[in-house]
Chains A and B, each alone.
Chain A
Amino acid sequence: MPAAVAVRDVGFGPREAPILEQISFALERGHFMGIVGPNGAGKSTLMQLLVGSLAPTRGTIHFNGVPMDPAHRRAILQRIAFVHQLQDHHPTLPIIVEEVVAMGHPDHRRWWWRRSAVRAEIGRVLEQVGIAGCQQRDYRYLSGGQRQRVRLARALLRRPDVLLLDEPSAALDTPAQEQLYRLLRALCDDEGKTVIMVEHDIAAISAFVDSVACLNRTIHHHAKRGEQVPVQVWQDMYGEHMHVVAHDHDCIGCHPERSGAP
Chain B
Amino acid sequence: MSAFFASEVMMDALLPALMIAVVASTVSVMVVAHRLSFLTVGVAHASLAGLGLAAVTGLPLLPVASLVAVLVALLLPWMPTGRGISNDAASGMLFAGSMALGVLLLAGADRQQVDLFGLLFGNILMVDDHDLLWMDLLVPATLLVVFWMARAWWSIAFDATTAEANGLPVRRYRLLLYAVTGTTVILCVKLAGVVLTTGLMVLPAAIAWFWGRTLLSLWLISVAAGVVAVVAGLMLSYARDWPAGASIIVLLCCLFCLSWGCQWWRQRGGIGAG
Contact = CB atoms under 8 A, between A and B. Distances in A.
B164 A53 contact: yes
B217 A94 contact: yes
A138 B213 CA distance: 7
Contacts of A106: 166
Interface residues of B, number: 26
Interface in A126-157: 138, 140-141, 151, 154
B165 A109 contact: no
B56 interface: no
B218 interface: yes
Contact of B161 (A84, A108, A138, A140): A84
Nearest to A103: B155
B214 interface: yes
A95 B159 CA distance: 12
A94 B167 contact: no
Which secondary structure characterizes the binding site on chain B? Answer: helix
B157 interface: yes
Interface residues of A, number: 36
A120 interface: no
A86 to B, nearest CB: 10
Of all A-B residue pairs in the complex, the 9 with the closest CB atoms, nearest first, are A77-B167, A82-B165, A51-B165, A94-B212, A108-B151, A103-B155, A89-B159, A74-B167, A90-B158
Given A103-B162, A109-B151, A141-B274, 11 more contacts: A73-B167, A74-B167, A88-B159, A89-B158, A93-B157, A93-B215, A94-B217, A95-B158, A106-B166, A112-B151, A151-B162
Interface of A: 51, 53, 73-74, 77-78, 80-84, 88-90, 92-96, 99-100, 102-104, 106, 108-109, 111-112, 138, 140-141, 151, 154, 158, 164
Interface of B: 33, 148, 151-152, 154-155, 157-168, 209, 212-215, 217-218, 274
